Structure 1
């Protein structure tokens, strides 16, 4: 009878799948690289399928690996739900939480964390607001919003907000599965500038991109600018262009089932940082404090 992989090994697999590198997964989980490598290999042996393509650019999920990742995430969600349903909740905490978020956070980060909070604090009514950064900042200042989850890397250094960093998501180059840049030992912005570029323009992505392009004296040759991550994904996968986006929104397959690869760039590219933000002068309401603490706990455990 085949053995079931332990939750520890499954965490190793998820960490490698999300970071694309054994070295980064080892850092994230504070374990040795050999433990990660052995754990992933043992899962593949137990399943009898190849979960990763091991390439110079890193560990890339196979089609089977992508499907397995989705199932593993369901497993961890079920574990979270089991703990949440058993642990002592806070029935005395009631009230409303006005929670603001940016587009990227709403689609690619918040949903499972929000569901976990709502299970733990059923007496708290969470009202969600998706808005651009300037609106979020103004709303935190005038008490329209109690708390925000946003791209704190987009904030100006002198912003009057308190913040707590949750994750740093590296940005990498996205290319189609047969793109010639995959054959290069090193790829930089100079190489990217020669290719048609698909520019994402939500959450100030275009302004951020132009800032890190500026020191090189180069600029992307933008073929198409869009607010849709799925449009970027499809255009890249079908060979229409390339793009630099964060790992948080990376998926190895387009909606049509075409493969997307990602490449580490030799030029310094800033990470996309997601964090909590609130008005420094007002502090946190009880419901906002509960959400703040629950999110930090969830990220530490995850």
Structure 2
């Protein structure tokens, strides 16, 4: 049986989410399709890639090795699809503003690819909060931005969503809620809660909490995602954060599990923003075209 790109994509989605059910949700397909693809992939490579556990899918040693190859495969496919994207001869300076979360967990990979694809494009990157980015775009201090578009409300700015990252409950391994059938904000409210504050995370969080009769029992507010990760992994509380910043292990090597909540939790949307009346320069067009191709946005 030949290896297919579909199998590789489904494998990566399962490895990153740690659960077949969540991978299926992220891919907008059935769980059985994911399960079948992984089973066929394991037969093709002749190795068990996942250890099936009550809490999800853990990569085996062979699975971790294959994940590295899977990323390389998809990277090469993406590069091949962009051969005719925009001429690589684009030159000049482009000022790009981005928020903390975007710079830390989204942009580095794409900036590296952009610089290889457009070697003459001088990308100047600035980390700022949303308010400063909005002001900078409107005064032409920055050409374009990459930020959480779900936070943008200014009608003078045009936005284009690239991806929606679901928010899920983060828990330490063997937490009691992992064995509960259905978990919502009611159950979360009974746990000590670690509140992330960076990129208006606390404001966004309280917006969906206030639509319920419950409130989080906040034990700590922090601007550090790594602090949240370590505190959750070490049993000091729980948190609701997006898949984009999730990693299954803390710096201490402790497991962080995730659960899909029953309540309606908004996703974290990441995308581009620019001044609505701006005329796109060749540099801005190349930057936007790269992301539109990378995320398969319709023309």
Partner of 1:72: 70
Residue pairs, 1:120-135, within 5 angstroms: 120-135=117-132
The Cα of 1:37 is off from its aligned counterpart by 2.3
**Selected match of 1:106 from 103, 126, 145:** 103
Which residue does the alignment assign to 1:141?
Answer: 138
- Per-residue CA distance 1:27-58 (angstroms, 9 max, x = gap): 76576654432221123343522425465x7x
User: Could you tell me how far apart the structure 2 residues matched to 1:47 and 1:148 are?
Assistant: 45
User: How many residue pairs end up in the alignment?
Assistant: 295
Give the alignment of 1:140-159 within 5 angstroms.
Answer: 140-156=137-153, 158-159=154-155
Does the CA-based 8 Å contact 1:80-1:116 persist in structure 2? Answer: no
Residue 51 of structure 1 is matched in structure 2 by 50
Output one character per residue of 1:159-206: Cα deviation in whole Å (capped at 9) or x when no partner.
311111111111000001110011110111111111111111111101
Alignment gaps of 5+ in structure 1: none
Q: TM-score, normalised by structure 2?
A: 0.88
Aligned to 2:198: 202
**Which whole-Å CA distance do the structure 1 matches of 2:225 and 2:181 have between them?**
27
Post-superposition Cα deviations, 1:247-293, rounded to whole Å, max 9, x if no partner, equal 11111111222111101111111110011110001132221111101
The Cα RMSD (Å) is: 2.6
Change (3 A) 1:265 1:31: closer
Q: Counterpart of 2:171 in 1: which secondary structure?
A: strand
CA deviation after TM superposition for structure 1 residue 297, in Å: 0.2
**How far has the Cα of 1:78 moved from its partner?**
4.7
* 2:87 equivalent to 1:90: yes
Gaps of 5+ in 2: none
Asked if residue 118 in structure 1 is aligned to residue 115 in structure 2, the reply is yes
Aligned-partner Cα distance in 1 for 2:85–2:164: 32
Q: Secondary structure at the match of 2:145?
A: strand
Q: Secondary structure at the match of 1:203?
A: helix
Instruction: Give the whole-Å Cα distance in 2 for the aligned partners of 1:175 and 1:127.
Output: 38
Do the aligned residues in 1 keep the contact of 2:138 with 2:275 (CA within 8 Å)? yes
How far apart are the structure 2 equivalents of 1:28 and 1:242?
Answer: 22
Q: Matched residues in 1 for 2:136 and 2:30: separation?
A: 44
Change (3 A) 1:28 1:254: closer
Structure 2 partner of 1:40: 38
Q: Residue 6 of structure 2 corresponds to which residue in structure 1?
A: 8
